Structure 1
Amino acid sequence: MSELIDPALPKVELHLHLEGAASPAFIRGLAKEKGLDISGIFAEDGGYDYRDFWHFLEVYEAATSTLQSPEDFRRLVLAVLEDRAEDGVIYAETFVSPDFCGGGDLGAWREYLHAIEEAAEQAQNTMGITLKGVVTCIRHFGPEKARPIALCAAETKGDFITGFGIAGDEKMHHPKDFAWAFDCAREAGLRLTAHAGEWGGAQSVRDALDHLRPERIGHGVQAIDDLALVDRLAEDGIVLEVCPGSNVFLGVYPSFRDHPVDRLREREVKITLSTDDPPFFRTTLVQEYETLARTFGWTEADFRSINADALKAAFCDEATKRSLLDRLTR
């Protein structure tokens, strides 16, 4: 079957969980080094194994338990960025959580962050890919645990840490419970995004907009069930970080054909395309583009337009955007 879209097309990816981008082989290797038995999280074919979204969260955290030091995260960043570069990604933002990097302690977080930044700089020099970090609190850990995470983000805002967000189980707690954390990050000058509308319905998107006031929404696809909300997203320029393969793999939608990404675009909502946790969902960004092209008839011009919108919505400085725009439009 011939390719519809050039795999080398330059891409921007804004919704990527760092630990969730770790390949099974990478995690198995760390587990072996540390003498950890996490064999129960793998399927017979070697991939990650889970039943549903909530079991996925458990498997995700089990895999993350192998990442125990700044050096582990340095190696992880290099491995993840090598995979992204193979997909043609020239700019990526990754969700990172001090919960998994020092347990929310600011001093420990600084050590982990130094290792992550060091790897990102190395990858930029050797692979030509730029990475920025979005500190993320974990919703199902609760609003009290989100506060020190927001403080970690505020204290380390800079060239690398440019954003703040929330991820995890949308069915636990209300967005208003995390208003303090978002206000803290906002006051520090961080750009804001929030997971919503993946599992919590259209109302979860509305609640996130009303109480957290982000400029981007992670997923957000269930907004399609409330057309007044869809119009609000379009009119207010709220950008959706859409991950179609993730949504289909987890059963949010039964197929790509049923996924609302095309309808959202038709109603002039700005969307970006990402893989979320690619090895968990057995996907790559090249595969996502190819499937979307076959399903909706999108052309290279469509993907170039989506990537241009993603670059405009990126949480990086204008000089970085200008240099990347040259590469996107070649």
Structure 2
Amino acid sequence: MQTLAKPCLDPKRSQMLWQSMLGQVSERELDSEATTTLLWKIPVLTVLFAGALGSAWHASSLLLVGLACLALAFILAQFAFLGHDAGHGTLSRKRGLNAAVGHFCMTVMTGLAFTEWYSRHKTHHQYCQHEPKDPDMDVDLVVSLTADSRQRKNTLGRFLTRCQGVSIWFLSLLFAHSQRHLSQWGVLREPRKFVPDVMVLMIHFALWWGVPLLAFDISLGRVLLVYTLPLFILGPYLAAIFWVNHVGMPLIANLDDFSFLEHQAVTSRTVVNPKSMDWFFGGLNFQIEHHLYPQIPSFRLRQVQAIVRPALQKEGVPYRGVSFWEAVRSIAAHFRLIAKG
């Protein structure tokens, strides 16, 4: 059964270790703003996005539509990675610039409401793997991440959970859609709280629906297909990146028992892969490092790992660094274990 994490470091020692690593990070300027490095990607991605979207709208065959939507899925993922970095303030010390980039990359391009998303994501970082408060563990019906979640479900929910060892891989097709709709529904529930999201979402819908229908006279069916198909492709891609980060990792029963360092380290899993594949994961394969120092741009996390991993291992703090396929096998085994009850 899924284990409960137990602290192994004195809180003062833990804080000293975190500060020591941060000192090395700062000495190497890994926590400096990355405005120039990241912002150049936006015009490049925008040109690619425009080309792929236009091709999908005007393609003469379904095969060409499918290829254009495949390209769109990967482009939207890169926009989402930039939005994630902007949410953590890695682009600039200017909050307005981070917000503008986040809204453009996430809200306009993907339809994921940036402010609403980050309010939940920030809570996830604070309460990672603490089931009562971690929003990423709040799965209502179709799957269960823990035994307690399975027991709380109604009859239909428990039935669906019993099938999750197999169904989860098919459900990954809906993962990106669920994230988009969860975010938009959050904005609709509290529009006064998320006024910027409301305004920018209008631009999103104008781009994806108004432009093709009114300016280019694209058929409604084609517009609907181009709006939904990239996210069906994007779903398994994002699932492959995000599910391996925390699913099956130890749970936190009492947050007061843990220092910040141990809490973040023992509840996260880093995926070790060739440097050439970091772009595929958006740098977020270094999840331990990201949770310890979320203010660091994701493309620098490989350098942060060289500081964090040996320091944690020296102090006896568990460091879960595995290959991608080992991570996938681990979460698959976890889903089957919870399904059995």
For Structure 1 versus Structure 2, the TM-score category normalised by the shorter chain is under 0.3
Larger fraction in strand? 1
Higher-RCO chain (CA-CA 8 Å, sequence separation at least 6): 2
Determine which structure has the larger helix proportion and give its number.
2
